[in-house]
Amino acid sequence: MKNTFLFCLAVLAFSCNSEVTTENSQPAQTAEPDYDPEAKLKALGIELPEAATPVANYVNAVRTGNLLFLAGKGPSLPGGGYITGKVNADLTVEQGYEAARLTGINQLAVLKAELGDLKKVKRIVKVLGMVNCTPDFANQPEVVNGFSDLMVEVFGERGKHARSAVGMGSLPRNIAVEVEMIVEVE
């Protein structure tokens, strides 16, 4: 009985001092001297817009501990307006992909406004991508890849995230895509 208790105590001590990871997860990132998401944006030719002001009674982001929860954003265009329409009726998968990528740029603008420096992003944790599409459309992941691919281009391994890509019968103001995300920050 005493040996079983000591073994359980040792396992508990080990688990408290070890990072728990799953097969596909990554442990927390250590300092990387070449980690510079803002330089990566410049190299990609992407200039972040001003973070959009919420249009209702909510905020762009809420921080709790080291997690930042970003409200859903859509593909707002630099000159005003949005990319609108249903994928598989008004837009192709490729156009939906570009709308999701633009949504990613808009979410990066929110991150920059909240953090001041994108180097403070430790990990993109979770993404919920919603695609305005026809009922028979089944390729939502290919559309939301526009967002996910951008996060990996900008943040490298830190940009890989858990994700849901779902179809919606409609989205606010008929936008093509809406994405919300959870980010681990310093």
Domain range list for the chain: 34-185
Tell me what the pLDDT averaged over the chain comes to.
88
pLDDT at 12: 38
Q: Do 60 and 150 meet the contact criterion of CB atoms below 8 Å apart?
A: no
Per-residue pLDDT of 52-91, as tens digits, reads 889 899 999 999 999 999 999 999 999 899 999 999 999 9
158 or 31, higher pLDDT:
158
Which of the listed ranges 14-28, 31-45, 125-139 does the model predict with the highest average pLDDT?
125-139
Query: For 34-185, which CATH superfamily applies?
Result: RutC-like (3.30.1330.40)
